Chains A and B, each alone.
Chain A
Amino acid sequence: MNDAQSAVQDLVDAVRTSDASAFYRDMWGGAETFSDIPAVSRAEFIATPLSRRRYKDESGLVKVVRYPEGVFLSEWSFDDIQKEQWGEQARRPMVYLSNSYEAVEKSMWCRENNMIPLIGEKMAEASVFTASKYRIDALITDSRSLEKMLPFFTASTEPISSITVIGDSFNYEQLAPYSRFARRIRLLLILPETGAFADAPYSSAPVFSPLGDSLVEHQDGVLVLTKRRLLTTPIIQYRTDIATHPVGDPSGGFTLVNR
């Protein structure tokens, strides 16, 4: 077992024997090794109250995660928020997202990483105005909100340093016109309940690479995720509905199917 596998097994052992929650222990039955434990899915998160999925008692933010099939709470400690890889270091970042919970969380990521973020409000006109006033040099956004920032970009005389577009799917053609507005555009795969787990520089056919804290597997055509850190609500063998195609390179790169 190499170091990475050993670290994941340590996580499984800690969660399995935790006094804080029996959520995963009950799901895993007698399975003890990472390779033997069954996958967990969103349905189990929806069916289990947060208080029974909480493995750490730390200060942080709680958010509502809503899907067509149900709703549940997700909790992120300030410490874990700080360690996520939501964006790049910048002097004057802006967070402009259509989901209010994600907007506040990513803004706190900025603050936890010693940046003062501008948070974009729902009204696009106000967000464009404030972005200009604050002279933003980096943007964390989603596809829908990025479009609303077009007036800011067309009025700017220089590209900003980075745009990070977060989501679980991307329309690469739709993003193409924005490539000239930033020196780097990064696509970041996320789910609200898992945090960020893979990224790719923007291109018309991006290959995503798992982030350092994420173990990405592909089972039956979909992505199964393990975050290597013990989160407040840990992500271990979490089966997503994100269809993927591994490219077979040593870094574990993959493409999204039909996205």
Chain B
Amino acid sequence: MIDRDGFAALAEQTLEHFFLTPPADTEQYGIGVTSGTSRSKVLVAMREYPVAQGIFSSGPGRMLSTRGSLSTALNNAVFTKFRSRHFNARILTLDRADYAADIMPLLSDFAPDGITGYPHIMSQLADYMDAGTRDGVRSAEYVGEGLTASLNENLRRSFPRAKVSMAYMASEIGGIGRSCEFLPENQYHPLSGVTVEVLEPDDTGEGEVLVSKTIAFGIMVRQYRLADIGRIKPGTCRCGKPVTFEIVGRLGRDYVRLAGATFRRDLFDRIATANAELFEDYRIEAFLENDRGISRGKLIMKVYKKGGVGDASIRKINERFLTGLYVTPTQTLGTLVKKGLFSPLEIVVVEQPFPDETKEAKIVQRI
């Protein structure tokens, strides 16, 4: 089992192999670079593209892609080239600087039949596509982040005719899993040659995801800790694939384990959506606090609503989350507060809307 520092050593191995023995045919190789936007250092590794796996034999002929890192944009172009062996394929990877009103007629003229990218960025891009252009989209592949219920609903409204699929990958090691037509959101089958396991699963089967695969030149990463939380789903899928895994969140963000409780963003979102009249957006900070020598969990919930949130609404928000938010299979947050394991939920009203972050982490564990 290795973590990011351990992977860095493997990454060096792939580079050394490339320096000493560069491949004569470069087509199936590329360079994986992490974004470096996390607190971790940038990683550079050679990677092998899954050209032979048949995943490029079909797809949209006119793909519109959002742009994450430039490495991701280049990979999308490379995948388009792989697809072009089977059918006529074009891609437009739109820079965020071009999300402007004057792009609408250009996108209408390009007439994409497929979209790919981060779900929340695609949701923003949809605002710059007219209804006719969005109706023409027949496939939507989401990558790079989980698909929340609210985002999924939003995107289905924006692209009503798009068949949705998801891909799970990490920039430093490439593709890990893909969805199929029978799987719900955030569930995947491992790609050929990839093994997915879960470290120390809890009662619900959730734990840290471990990935094993060949990176490049026969160099393998075994049980790489990606800092994502997931579970293995039992049984064989209707598509016939024997292994299915679900990604539920990012360790320390969107998924926090604290003082015996598990806080999941999708559960917060569900209650937030059901109480949309009380507030428009929220952020959670979770941490341990020491109260006269007793360590307790603590949640601070910041809420925003245009025009403000009154005292009556604050009381309702408090009550809804205490009674409705299950943080263990059988106990709510309110139960744990009564037991003294958690301090009362603190709700803070903010006056400005929350900034739009690339990864939109709504639950963060403060150390």
Q: Is the CB of A116 within 8 A of B91?
A: no
Q: Does A108 lie within 8 Å of B88, measured CB to CB? A: no
Chain B residue at smallest Cβ distance from A108: B77
Known: A73-B109, A100-B95. A62 touches B90 (CB 8 A): yes
Q: Is the CB of B91 within 8 A of A134?
A: no
Quote the shortest CB–CB distance from A35 to chain B (angstroms): 33
Q: Which of B27, B42, B70, B111 contacts A119 (CB 8 A)?
A: B70
Q: Is the interface of B mostly helix, strand, loop or mixed?
A: mixed
Q: Max chain B CB contacts within 10 Å: which of A101, A104, A122?
A: A104
B180 at the interface (CB under 8 A from A): no
Q: How many residues of B contact A (CB 8 A)?
A: 44
Residues B22 and A91 in contact, CB atoms below 8 Å apart: yes
Q: Find chain A residues with CB under 8 A from B30 CB.
A: 116
Q: Mark A98-138, 1 if CB is under 8 A from B, else 0.
A: 00110110011001001111111111001001100111000
CA distance A122 to B74 in the complex (A): 14
Contact yes or no, A59 B80, CB < 8 A: yes
Contact B95 A64 (CB under 8 A): yes
Q: What's the nearest-Cβ distance from chain B to residue A92, in Å?
A: 8
**CA–CA, A116 and B71, complex, Å:** 12
Interface residues of B in 246-294 (CB under 8 A from A): none
- From the candidates A70, A71, A115, name the one contacting B26 in the complex (CB within 8 A): A115
**A64 B36 Cβ-Cβ under 8 A:** no
Contacts of B1-26 to chain A: CB distance below 8 A: 15, 18-19, 22, 25-26
A58 at the interface (CB under 8 A from B): yes
Q: Please, how many angstroms separate the alpha-carbon atoms of A104 and B74 in the complex?
A: 5
B214 within 8 A of A: no
Q: Is A61 an interface residue (CB 8 A)?
A: yes
Asked if residues B67 and A100 are in contact (CB atoms below 8 Å), the reply is yes
Shortest Cβ distance from A110 into chain B, in angstroms?
9
Segment touching B, from A49-57, A158-166, A209-217: A49-57
Residues of A within 8 A of B77 (CB): 61, 104, 107-108
Q: Is B129 an interface residue (CB 8 A)?
A: no
Chain B CB within 10 Å, residue with most, of A63, A66, A72, A100? A100
Q: Min CB distance, B167 to chain A, in Å?
A: 19
Does B152 reach chain A (CB closer than 8 Å)? no
Point out the residues of chain A lying under 8 angstroms from B111, CB to CB: 51
Interface size class of A (residues with CB under 8 A): 35 or more
In angstroms, how far is the closest chain A Cβ from the Cβ of B100? 8
Instruction: Tell me how far the C-beta of A149 lies from the nearest C-beta in chain B, rounded to whole angstroms.
Output: 15
Residues of B within 8 A of A73 (CB): 92, 106, 109-110
A135 to B73, CA, bound (A): 22
B33 in the interface, Cβ–Cβ < 8 Å?
yes
Q: Give the residues in chain B near A118, CB-CB below 8 Å.
A: 31, 33, 44
Task: For the complex, give the distance between the alpha carbons of A91 and B88 in Å.
Answer: 30
Interface membership of A78, Cβ < 8 A = yes
A100 and B111 alpha carbons, distance in the complex (Å)? 21
> Which B residues lie within 8 Å of A114 (CB)?
25-27
Q: Check if A75 is an interface residue, CB within 8 A of chain B.
A: yes
Question: Quick one: which of A64, A104, A120, A123 contacts B103, CB cutoff 8 A?
Answer: A64
Give the nearest-CB partner of A96 in chain B: B70
Least CB separation from B81: chain A residue: A78
Whether A60 sits at the interface, judged by CB under 8 Å, is: yes
Task: Jot down 15 A-B pairs with beta carbons below 8 A, ordered by A.
Answer: A49-B109, A59-B80, A64-B94, A73-B92, A73-B106, A78-B84, A100-B95, A111-B26, A114-B25, A114-B26, A114-B27, A116-B46, A119-B33, A130-B42, A133-B44
Interchain residue pairs A-B with the least CB separation, the first 7: A59-B84, A62-B92, A49-B109, A133-B44, A126-B36, A100-B95, A59-B89
